[in-house]
C-alpha cells in the first residue's frame, strides 16, 4: 500500500474541522467513489462549501475507519448503517454515544465469534449444506432432511443462533 505524503495537522485540530474530499481520501485510503457511496447509504455526511465542494467534519474519519473494520469482519454495510443511525449527525458523537454503539456492535461480534467457533468445530464434519459428501452427513443430515429447515449450512447456522 502506498503511504500518503506526510501532512501536517495543526495541534489545534478539532473534530469539528472541515476536511476536503481529497484530505479524507488521503487520510482514510478510501477512494472518492466509495466515499460517495457511503454518503448515499447514509453512513457518512458531507457539507458543501460556498463553491459546492464536499466538506467532511473530521469526526467522519472515525465512521469511515469503522466502516473499513466492519468490512474486514464481514459485517454488512446495512447493519453498520443501522448502528450509525443512532449517532448524532450535527456534532461529534460523545463517549456515551460510542458506548451505545459499542454495545450493539458487541452483540453482532459475539454472534460472529460463535459462528466462527462452530465453523472450526464443524468444518471437518457435517455442516448441513445438502452436499452429503462427508462421512457424518448420513448420520447428521440423512437424505438432506435439513434442506426442509432452511438454505445453506443449516447445522452451522442453527448451532450459531
Pick between residue 109 and residue 134 the one whose CB is nearest to ligand FES: 134
First to last CA, the chain: 38
Confirm or reject binding of residue 137 to ligand FES (CB under 6 A).
Answer: yes
Confirm or reject binding of residue 128 to ligand FES (CB under 6 A).
Answer: yes
Confirm or reject binding of residue 28 to ligand FES (CB under 6 A).
Answer: no
64 sits in which H/E element? helix 60-72
Q: Within a 10 A sphere around the Cβ of 136, how many other Cβ atoms?
A: 13
Residue 48 φ then ψ, to 5°: -120, 140
Q: CA-to-CA distance for 132 and 83, rounded, in angstroms? A: 39
Pick between residue 29 and residue 130 the one whose CB is nearest to ligand FES: 130
Q: CA-to-CA distance for 122 and 160, rounded, in angstroms? A: 11
Confirm or reject binding of residue 87 to ligand FES (CB under 6 A).
Answer: no
Pick between residue 42 and residue 145 the one whose CB is nearest to ligand FES: 145
Pick between residue 76 and residue 135 the one whose CB is nearest to ligand FES: 135
Tell the smallest beta-carbon distance from residue 117 to ligand FES (Å). Answer: 18
Q: Which residues bind ligand FES (CB under 6 A)?
A: 126-132, 134, 137, 141
Amino acid at each position: 500500500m502506498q503511504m500518503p505524503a506526510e501532512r501536517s495537522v495543526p495541534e489545534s485540530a478539532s473534530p469539528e474541522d472541515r476536511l476536503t474530499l481529497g484530505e479524507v481520501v488521503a487520510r482514510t485510503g478510501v477512494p472518492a467513489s466509495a466515499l460517495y457511496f457511503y454518503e448515499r447509504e447514509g453512513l457518512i455526511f458531507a457539507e458543501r462549501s460556498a463553491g459546492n465542494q464536499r466538506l467532511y467534519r473530521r469526526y467522519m474519519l472515525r465512521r469511515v475507519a469503522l466502516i473499513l473494520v466492519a468490512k474486514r469482519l464481514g459485517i454488512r454495510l446495512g447493519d453498520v448503517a443501522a448502528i450509525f443511525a443512532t449517532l448524532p449527525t450535527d456534532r461529534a458523537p460523545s463517549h456515551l454515544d460510542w458506548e451505545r454503539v459499542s454495545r450493539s456492535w458487541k452483540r453482532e461480534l459475539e454472534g460472529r465469534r460463535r459462528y466462527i467457533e462452530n465453523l472450526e468445530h464443524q468444518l471437518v464434519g457435517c455442516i448441513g449444506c445438502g452436499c452429503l459428501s462427508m462421512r457424518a452427513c448420513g448420520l447428521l443430515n440423512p437424505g438432506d432432511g435439513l434442506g426442509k429447515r432452511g438454505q445453506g449450512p443449516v447445522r452451522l447456522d442453527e448451532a450459531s443462533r
